Amino acid sequence: MKRRRLGGLTVALAAIPCTMCLGTLGFVYIAGYPWLDAAYMAIMTTTTVGYGEIHPLSQTARVFNSFYILLSVSLLFLAIGLMTQKIVEAQFGNLFEKRRMKKMIEKLEGHYIICGFGRVGRGAAAELQGAGAKVVVIDRREDRVEWAMRQGYLACLGDSTRDETLREVRIDKAAGLIAALATDADNLFAVISAKTLNPEIRVAARAAEDEAERKMRQVGADSVFAPYKAAGTRMAQSLLKPHVRRFLDFATTPLGVDVRIEQVEVVEGSDLVGKSLADARIRGEMHVIVLAIRRAEGQMEFNPSAEALIQARDYLIVMGEPEPLRRLETRVTGAGA
């Protein structure tokens, strides 16, 4: 819409000198004016100055001038209107958009908050959006907030370390928060504020230093990631254990084969409760591999045996293609993915 209006303004502005050239030619060849007088008359008519006729006009010249007045003045007013509209939009458009965004944020529940829309924040936001989650971005820089809005995210300009900013994005109703700010100190404050305002919220944070990682875990961060350390580890593994690294990439990143690792919660009332993996026939009938079971009490069972029993509130860590995974989730939870 904005591009269309900008294109219309450009056409209108370009048409004005073309119309003046047309008027000049008309006054020369129809009214018999000299070239300088014709150009002066065309400019005077277009700008509605109204000094009067430089030389008397014939009947034919006056008919031409009448049409020229309607054309040139209408075009000038159109250009002025489009310019005024663009100025008003530049001044108040962002204000209206921010008000609309605020109203949408006020209705959110079960959403995820991204603190910082740098490279890490953008990657996290894209992953959450791809999974169908509702995302709200907070950043101190206005250009990043506008960028996030253009990408289709709800966004808020503010300081993620301040309680009032987190309250504005309804942290009390949020399902999770990602602290991806520029410094460890800011991320630590964001974690503390988030856990203070909503002790039940799940928090993932970025840390550059080992000391910051330890402190973030102490104040309640559920997961802490060191991007530089993780990148170094993956690079080393790609040389030492290339096939292991390839398998992990194959299961966690899109490499042309759509295989995913997911977690599925076993709810009360599921027909899997009380059955062993062998009886559930998850692999044989649904073509999904159970890699691990995270028990309701917190312990993790890797590569569970066929006799392992499935209990309510367990999480099955499974790997498979999207459609079998959706069928499994429907069976386990009673709802689609």
**Residues forming CATH 3.40.50.720 domain(s) in the chain:** 106-225
In the chain, residues under CATH classification 1.10.287.70 are 2-94
Residue type (1 letter), 198: N
Enter the tokens of residue 274: 């009380």
297 vs 308: CA distance, rounded Å: 15
Give 151-158's long-range contacts (Cβ < 8 A, gap of 24+).
Answer: 151/125, 153/114, 153/125, 153/129, 154/101, 154/104, 154/105, 154/108, 155/101, 155/117, 156/101, 156/102, 156/105, 157/98
Q: How far is CA 33 from CA 19, 22, 73, 183, 329, in A?
A: 17, 14, 21, 73, 85
Pairing of strands 135-139, 112-115: parallel
From CA 129, how far away is CA 307, in angstroms rounded? 37
Architecture of domain 259-333: 2-Layer Sandwich (3.30)
H-helix segments, the chain: 2-29, 35-46, 59-105, 119-130, 142-150, 163-168, 184-197, 210-218, 227-240, 242-252, 277-280, 282-286, 322-333
Instruction: For residue 149, report the phi and psi dihedrals to the nearest 5 degrees.
Output: -65, -40
The pLDDT value given to residue 95: 64
Q: What is the pTM of this model?
A: 0.61
pLDDT for 90: 66
Overall fold of domain 2-94: Helix Hairpins (1.10.287)
pLDDT of residue 29: 83
Q: What is the CATH number of domain 106-225?
A: 3.40.50.720
Contact between 191 and 203 under an 8 Å Cβ cutoff? The reply is: yes
pLDDT tens, residue order, the chain (337 aa): 444 445 566 777 777 788 888 888 888 888 888 888 888 888 888 777 767 777 777 788 888 878 888 888 888 888 888 787 777 766 665 666 667 777 888 888 999 999 999 999 999 999 899 888 999 999 999 899 989 988 889 998 899 999 999 999 999 999 999 999 999 999 999 999 999 999 999 999 999 888 888 899 999 999 999 887 777 887 888 888 887 777 777 666 655 557 788 888 888 888 888 889 888 888 888 888 899 999 988 888 888 988 999 988 899 999 888 888 888 888 887 554 3
DSSP helix/strand/coil, 222: coil
How much is the pLDDT for 98? 67
